[in-house]
């Protein structure tokens, strides 16, 4: 059973793996046991493993991250013995050199680097590059025949090998978004309260790329057309200056009419006297 530290650490690492997958590798914990992770390695271009799909397992101890995992590769590769523990600096063969700061991504990146080398160690085999290429071409068919592969990676049980979330495009200076990506436009005007304004609303763009996270972008908002106004500066009515100005106007009108009425009364009395 995993310790609390191992449970917390591995859960965090799975979130990191989903958010920032390393080039050519992918891994996920077993649904029943977080200490067991199945991984996939895709053979990089310009290597004897190009086009290959290699399935294996990481076996973490309950004391992880303070102790290293055991590492196996199930798919025949011509580099490692299938279903045998592999000895290299990040495996449980070398607990003295283990660094608790290393993660699942670090381990698998190191395993891929070790796979591309010629160093012989426990769990490795020696074979020619042509033999490795033959095994790489048969690797997906072999994986499909294995129940543990089908159970661990049902989404990758396709007629041809499926790309991992990160196939190293960025590292090779190529665009991150492949040509197979689709774009879906969603108008956000249906997601906000109605408005009487005629100003156009921007659009959200959801980019869905096979094997990658959903990307969100915003279309530039078109400029709002200038509203036609028949009132010019010459005939535009005066703008009220506030409540104080309004009260002064009312008082002046009442005072003026009061003076006129008073004068009319005085003139009437003078006239009646004569």
Burial 143-172, CB ≥16 within 10 A → b, else e: beeeeebeebbeebeeeebbbbbbbeeeee
147 φ, ψ (degrees, to nearest 5)? -60, -35
What residues form DSSP beta bridges with 53? 42
In the annotation, is 87 catalytic?
A: yes
Q: Which of 87, 105, 134, 144 is catalytic?
A: 87
Terminal CA-CA length for the chain: 124
In the chain, the DSSP E strands lie at 25-29, 36-42, 53-59, 70-73, 182-187, 203-208, 215-218
Residue 62 CA: distances (Å) to CA of 35, 69, 70, 217 = 7, 10, 12, 42
Query: Which of 213, 84, 211, 53 shows the shortest CA–CA distance to 146?
Result: 53
What residues form DSSP beta bridges with 54? 41
The answer to whether the beta carbons of residues 72 and 85 sit under 8 Å apart is yes
The answer to whether the beta carbons of residues 88 and 121 sit under 8 Å apart is yes
**Number of neighbouring beta carbons within 10 Å of residue 89:** 14
The answer to whether the beta carbons of residues 89 and 110 sit under 8 Å apart is yes
Residues assigned a catalytic role: 87
């Amino acid at each position: 059973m995993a310790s609390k530290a191992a449970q917390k650490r591995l859960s965090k690492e799975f979130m990191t793996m989903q958010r920032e997958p390393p080039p050519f590798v992918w891994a996920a914990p077993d649904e029943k046991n977080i200490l067991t992770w199945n991984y996939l390695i895709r053979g990089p271009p310009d290597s004897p493993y190009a086009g290959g799909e290699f399935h294996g397992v990481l076996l973490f101890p309950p004391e992880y991250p303070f102790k290293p995992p055991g590492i196996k590769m199930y798919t025949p590769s011509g580099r490692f013995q299938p279903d045998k523990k592999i000895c290299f600096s990040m495996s449980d063969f070398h607990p003295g050199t283990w660094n608790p700061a290393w993660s699942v991504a670090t381990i698998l990146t190191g395993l891929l680097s070790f796979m591309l080398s010629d160093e012989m160690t426990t769990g490795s085999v020696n074979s020619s590059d042509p033999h490795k290429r033959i095994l790489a071409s048969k690797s997906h068919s072999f994986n499909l025949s294995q129940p543990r592969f089908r159970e661990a990676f049902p989404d990758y049980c396709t007629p041809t090998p499926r790309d991992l979330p990160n196939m190293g495009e960025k590292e090779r200076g190529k665009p991150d978004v492949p040509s197979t990506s689709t774009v879906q436009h969603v108008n956000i005007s249906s997601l906000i309260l109605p408005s009487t304004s005629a100003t156009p609303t921007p659009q959200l763009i959801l980019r869905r790329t096979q094997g990658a996270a959903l990307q969100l972008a915003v279309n530039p908002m078109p400029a709002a057309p200038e509203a036609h106004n028949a009132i010019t500066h010459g005939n535009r009515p005066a703008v009220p200056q506030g409540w104080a100005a309004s009260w002064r106007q009312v008082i002046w009108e009442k005072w003026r009419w009061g003076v006129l009425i008073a004068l009319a009364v005085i003139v009437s009395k003078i006239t009646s006297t004569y």
